[in-house]
Amino acid sequence: MEVTPQIQNEKSGNESFLEAIMKPHTSYYQAVKMLFGNGSVHGMAHITGGGIEGNLSRIIPGGLSACIDLGSIIIPPIFKQIKSHGNVADNEMLKTFNCGVGLIIVAEPGAGSAISKTISKFHKCYTIGEIIKGNSAVKFTNNLKW
């Protein structure tokens, strides 16, 4: 007997779980192309498999750390459902998924407002951390708000 998983019949925000899980990844090109050549942008990390730490660590130079405030991340319903139905620990969610953070832009501290204004024309954009002196590429503070 074939059994349909209950999660398949659930809504994820305004769409079905299946519609949400089958969406292609977001293309950020239109949003970021105006930032190319902007001297205040030091790097960009597309957060895919490997999560925030696995992708952001590739662009953080030695002697610096990205300090990410997990409590500031806006988590879409699809990730909440995966965590709940799969009984997945927070650290595994962060290693496997982007948890709603699709792209991280590392820039000069004073440039955040202008960059956010540009990106916000296309996608929701907000600050999730800062670059500090340190010896680990990515540090997490606070907890994800499920």
Q: How far apart are CA 116 and CA 81, in angstroms?
A: 29
Q: In this structure, is residue 43 part of a structural domain?
A: yes
42: domain CATH number? 3.90.650.10
Give domain status of residue 9, yes or no: no
Measuring CA to CA, how many Å separate 104 from each of 29, 43, 93?
A: 13, 8, 17
H helix intervals, 1-146 = 17-21, 29-32, 51-56, 77-86, 90-96, 112-119
Mean per-residue pLDDT pooled into runs of 10, the chain (146 residues): 75 92 93 93 94 96 96 97 95 96 95 95 96 93 98
The pLDDT score that the predictor gives to residue 25 is 86
Is 71:142 a contact under the CB 8 Å cutoff? Answer: yes
Contact 11, 17 (CB under 8 A): yes
Is 66 part of a structural domain of the chain? yes
Q: How are strands ordered across the β-sheet holding 129-133?
A: 129-133, 64-69, 138-141
- Residue 13 resides in a domain: no
pLDDT in the model for residue 8: 82
Residue 74: inside a domain: yes
The count of domains in the chain is 1
Give CA–CA dist 30/49, Å, rounded. Answer: 22
Q: Measure the CA–CA gap between 60 and 43, rounded to whole angstroms.
A: 8
The pLDDT assigned to 117 comes to 95
CA atoms within 13 A on the CB side of 36: 7
- Domain holding 78, by residue range, is 26-141
